Amino acid sequence: MRQTLTQELGNLIERGRDRQLRLAVTGLSRAGKTAFLTSLVNQLRHAGLEAHLDLMPAAREGRLLGARRVSQPDLGVPRFPYDQGMAALDAEPPHWPDPTRSISELRLSVRYRPARRGLLRSETAELSLDLFDYPGEWLLDLPLLDQEYPGWSRNMLAGAGEQRRALLAEWESVAAKLDPAAEANEAELAAIATLYARSLQAAREAGFANLQPGRFLLPGDLEGAPVLQFFPLPAIADADPATLAKLPRESVYATLAARFRHYQQHVVRPFYRDHFRRFDRQIVLVDVLGALSAGPERFEDLSRALATLMQSFDYGKRSLLSRLFAPRIDRLALAATKADHVTPEQHANLTALLEALLAEPLQDLRYANIPVKALSLASIRATEAHQVDHQGQRTPALRGTTLAGETVLVFPGEVPAKLPGHEFWARQGFDFRAFRPAPREGSVLPHIRLDVALDWLIGDKLK
């Protein structure tokens, strides 16, 4: 206890001096959080030596000396598996780091030479950067905190499109027969909840993103507990809240509502309180290409999921007081990941499409006067950009190895600058292939524009 108090105090002093940043790496599952963090650690560790961080002024001017992993503040949380990630990339054949199944944390101490030497400044300075990784599925639970069971139940069923409804049909046919006023039958509820979880899994396989509750997809140690046995009730869609509130405690409705509240209070809130409340900077990673390949309905779904998600963060200007006691995000980067899966001249379109996808939250951020930068990046570049002469024309192309291990030279297709209309989807659609990481040459990972993102997120503290 005493140790934590000292640590808290140390943190507080560091924060007061503005020498500590907490970076929120936000992204739904498969957006590339783990790859981003692995690459970020790798680049910062090799900064000043062989890392290519030329678009980051501090590194370009030779002032960034490198970074070291230091012991993290919260000893109860596992360390971010950087070495495992690197091992995966070094394997024969190389593969992407395994999806994150639980939460992990990492503190980096970034050392740099200040640009201006003052009386009070020493020759080198340090910035501690707190990062952490978590399963993207859990992130989807954050918007649950502001909702009540009946409202959530309605939201879950109302926003669904055609394809998603088809996936939920089996569960819905059973759940619709359930009478909210009837006495709850444990076994029956568990069976329906399993069915619900299975249809959520199926929806995720099909590429949908806005799936709540997130623990149904990745229960961790809560597997089989009654707290994970609830689901939206179709029968209460247009019921009067007052009559619902009067239902007895043993009724189906009251049982489900109680489990929802328990889930909210004991699963989501600690996660939010311990990890999501205090951030200074945020990067939102979005797999735009994946959503584009999956079709318009999933694209909309992703847009909705991200919009609700970003409401869970506090944005605002920082001051000394807010830095110490109520940290707020004062700078934000939106990144379309996997930019190496398209040819370089499409990167501008990719960024434009990302802005279109996040149009709703962007308006709020502009209103709050938060600086936002949208960019396209590839944390770990898996392909090489080339040009080929095809039918008398010079066409850009990518050389890479697909997940199946086949080496291809391909022009992956153009990315639209805005979401195309329905006729286009019916006619053509998109199909961006996934590539596996290239075998590593040298100790530093190749990347696209990770240096720009880093500069935007922490560059102003390295002055």
Partner 1 sequence: MSDLPRQTQGDDPQPARHFPLDEADAPDPASPRPRLDFDSQLPTQQLAEESPSRAERDLEASLGRPRKRRWGLLALLGGGIGLGTAELALRLPETLLGGDWLSGGWQLLGLGAIALGAAALVREAWRLRRLKRHDTLRSQLACLPQADTAAALNLARSLKRQLGLDDDHPHWQAFLAACEPHHGGDEVQHLLAHHLLTPRDREAQRLISRMAGETAVMVAVSPLTLVDMALVAWRNLAMIDRICRLYGLELGYASRLRLLRNVLYNMAFAGATEMVSDAGVELLSLNLAGRLSARAGQGMGVGLLTARLGLRTQRLTRPLVFGDSEAPRMADLRHELWQQLRHLDEPRKQSK
Question: What is the contact surface with partner 1 in residues (CB under 8 A)?
Answer: 52, 54-55, 57, 60-61, 339-340, 344-345, 347-348, 381, 384-385, 448-449, 452
Candidates 310, 287, 284; CA nearest to 415 is 287
Q: How far is the CB of 453 from partner 1 (least distance, A)?
A: 13
Candidates 365, 330, 447; CA nearest to 21 is 330
DSSP conformation class of 448: B
Calpha distance 240→245 (Å, rounded): 9
C-beta closer to partner 1: residue 348 or 359? 348
Calpha distance 230→219 (Å, rounded): 13
Per the CB < 8 A criterion, the answer to whether 449 and 381 are in contact is no
Per the CB < 8 A criterion, the answer to whether 323 and 71 are in contact is no
Q: How far is the CB of 55 from partner 1 (least distance, A)?
A: 6
C-beta closer to partner 1: residue 168 or 350? 350
Characterize 157-169 residue by residue with b for buried, 16 or more Cβ atoms within 10 angstroms of its Cβ, and e for exposed.
beebeebbeebbe
- Residue 421 CB contacts under 8 Å (≥ 6 apart), including other chains: none
- Residue 353 CB contacts under 8 Å (≥ 6 apart), including other chains: 288, 292, 336, 415, 416, 417, 418, 419
CA distances from 18 to 127, 163, 164, 281, 333 (A): 8, 49, 46, 13, 20
Q: How far is the CB of 447 from partner 1 (least distance, A)?
A: 10
Q: How far is the CB of 289 from partner 1 (least distance, A)?
A: 15
Q: How far is the CB of 80 from partner 1 (least distance, A)?
A: 27
Calpha distance 271→403 (Å, rounded): 34
Q: How many helices (H) and strands (E) does the chain have?
A: 18, 11
CA distances from 130 to 13, 31, 34, 126 (A): 15, 20, 15, 13
Which residues share a beta bridge with 388? 395
Dig out the tokens for 330 from the structure: 């004062």
Which residues share a beta bridge with 129? 21, 108
- ω into residue 213 within 30 of 0, thus cis? yes
Candidates 398, 353, 376; CA nearest to 447 is 376
Per the CB < 8 A criterion, the answer to whether 210 and 161 are in contact is no
Calpha distance 16→324 (Å, rounded): 6
CB under 8 A, 24+ apart: contacts of 359-365: 359/303, 360/303, 360/307, 361/306, 361/307, 361/310, 361/311, 362/334, 364/310, 364/311, 364/315, 365/315, 365/332
Dig out the tokens for 311 from the structure: 């409401």
